[in-house]
Amino acid sequence: MKHKQSLITSQERASALIEFMLVLPIMIIVIFLGIEFSRALYHMQLAASLSHQAANLAYRDCVGDPAGNPRTADQISEITGTENRKQIERCLEARRQIVQGVANRMAPGSVITVSLYRYDEGNKSAARFPSVPARSAFSWKDPEEGIVASSKSESSLFSRSHLLAGEAFIRFETALSGIWEIVGGAPMEFYDALVL
């Protein structure tokens, strides 16, 4: 007889095919997870970077602004807006917009906030200018001891009892995020913050 004997029987081929079909989805999932994990790492890094930039920019440009600098301790306790405060709010909002623009290009749907917190011993913590109130997640509990000492005698808005917080909520969209959201899950976000 001249015809070649195959080393792999047709039955073995068939079972190999079926085994491959079982393995295929798992393989796809593993590869997908690998790719998404790297993307996620990038977004986490983006959150760190943008919150750092937002806090830095706001701190350098807006602190000590004379129009926003009340001259008496009484004015510090005002919560309602006054002309003095508006200059600082404008300044912070302008810096926030700059970084928000960067975030919109890198990860659409992200939110950057820049907020000024004053520690109020009665309320435990109060955000004075939370730039995006619904989103600010930084809650300043149990501040370090040196920070709030003699806060009443200060007349500068940016002083010992205040902290400037720059936060970034970076939206992470996966290939399946549409399905995920239909099912009712919240959009995945990476959060980071820097306080100055």
Residues in touch with another protein (CB under 8 A)? 5, 7, 9, 12, 41, 44-45, 48, 51-52, 55-56, 59-60, 63-67, 69, 71, 83, 86-87, 90-91, 94, 138, 143-144, 146-147, 153-156, 158-160, 163, 192-196
Contact yes or no for 111/131 (Cβ under 8 A) = no
Q: In 63-176, which residue ranges form alpha helices assigned H by DSSP? A: 73-76, 83-106, 145-148
Q: Give the residue with the Cβ less far from another protein, 152 or 181.
A: 152
Distance in angstroms (rounded) separating the CA atoms of residues 171 and 190: 6
Q: How far is the CB of 178 from another protein (least distance, A)?
A: 27
Contact yes or no for 186/123 (Cβ under 8 A) = no
Q: Give the residue with the Cβ less far from another protein, 45 or 178.
A: 45
Q: In the chain, which residue ranges form alpha helices assigned H by DSSP? A: 10-62, 73-76, 83-106, 145-148, 177-183
Q: Give the residue with the Cβ less far from another protein, 64 or 178.
A: 64
Q: Give the residue with the Cβ less far from another protein, 14 or 179.
A: 14
The H-or-E segment that residue 130 falls in is strand 126-130
Q: What share of the chain is helix, strand, coil (3-state, %, to 5)?
A: 50, 15, 35
Name the one residue in this structure whose structure tokens are 């917190």: 117
Q: Give the residue with the Cβ less far from another protein, 82 or 182.
A: 82
Q: Give the residue with the Cβ less far from another protein, 84 or 177.
A: 84
Sequence-separated contacts (24+) of 85-91 with Cβ below 8 Å: 85/129, 88/62, 88/116, 88/129, 88/157, 89/129, 91/58, 91/61, 91/62, 91/65
Q: How far is the CB of 196 from another protein (least distance, A)?
A: 5
